[in-house]
Structure 1
Amino acid sequence: MTIKRHGLAIGLERTGEQFFLSLRVHGKLTHEDYQSLAPMLESAMEGIEDPEIDVFLDARELEGWQARAAWDDLKLGLKHGREFRKVAILGNQRWQQLAAKVGSWFIGGEARYFEEESEAMAWLESSP
């Protein structure tokens, strides 16, 4: 019997109008994952005129998205895309590198792919 591991760890920090969102994914992202993530993000940004969001996504154990979750991801990007300043995707697959390039088309800032966590964090902490 094979056990499929799934999980989404979410961390959200705020300093003034700037947010740091940390996501670690195991398995496939689900609609339920977005049902947890979206309200948390929207509640944290409530009342802030021009929020800026930096994201660290550890996708090394990400296996993809369920179809409905992919739709949720697109909706989240369309609604808040201009608020994303930097998105660092830590991965180990060619498709994740491509996802970072495509993701940049849908956000106001920049998305980059990294294979080393220290490089991803250094880029996120650097000035724009």
Structure 2
Amino acid sequence: MITAEVRDGRVEAAVFGKLTLDDFHLFEQQIEAQVAGGAPLCAFVDLRAMDGLTLDAAIEDYHFTRRHAQLKGRIAVLTENEFDTIGAWLEQALVEADIRLFDDESNARTWLDSEEA
């Protein structure tokens, strides 16, 4: 299950349990709504309660990333799972957006709000 919404110019998402294809489509819609006007992406993604993802969601993630390879902006990923580091590294290789992992929510939000990011 995922909660995802655009709030104050930022995509805010949290995943609970297993991420499914329908969940990922909701996340895609929120990202596309946020960048529709040409603004850079600003996203906060909380994966601390995620228990994995379905194969079709992983495939859609790859396709979405390839379709949006020129996407600029910042994505803060909140996680306590070392395997998310591998996924973030792969995503960073596929898109222009700056993706950073955090284990502290306040640090993640501070980075997203900073002018230096």
Which category of TM-score, normalised to the shorter sequence, fits these structures?
Answer: 0.7 to 0.9
Does residue 1:13 correspond to 2:7, yes or no? Answer: yes
- Paired AA for residue 69 in structure 2: G
Structure 1, unmatched stretches of 5+, are 1-6
- Percent pairwise identity: 22
Deviations 1:21-61 (A, max 9, x none): 11100011111112323234434544x3x331011110001
Instruction: Give the number of aligned pairs.
Output: 116
Structure 2, unmatched stretches of 5+, are none
Is the radius of gyration larger for structure 1 or structure 2? 1
TM-score (normalizing by structure 2): 0.86
Structure 2 Cα separation of the partners of residues 99 and 8 of structure 1: 18
SS in 1 for 2:16: strand
Q: Structure 2 matches for 1:36-115, cutoff 5 A?
A: 36-46=26-36, 48=37, 50-115=38-103
- Paired AA for residue 33 in structure 1: D
Structure 2 Cα separation of the partners of residues 51 and 81 of structure 1: 15
CA RMSD of aligned residues (A): 1.8
SS in 2 for 1:112: strand
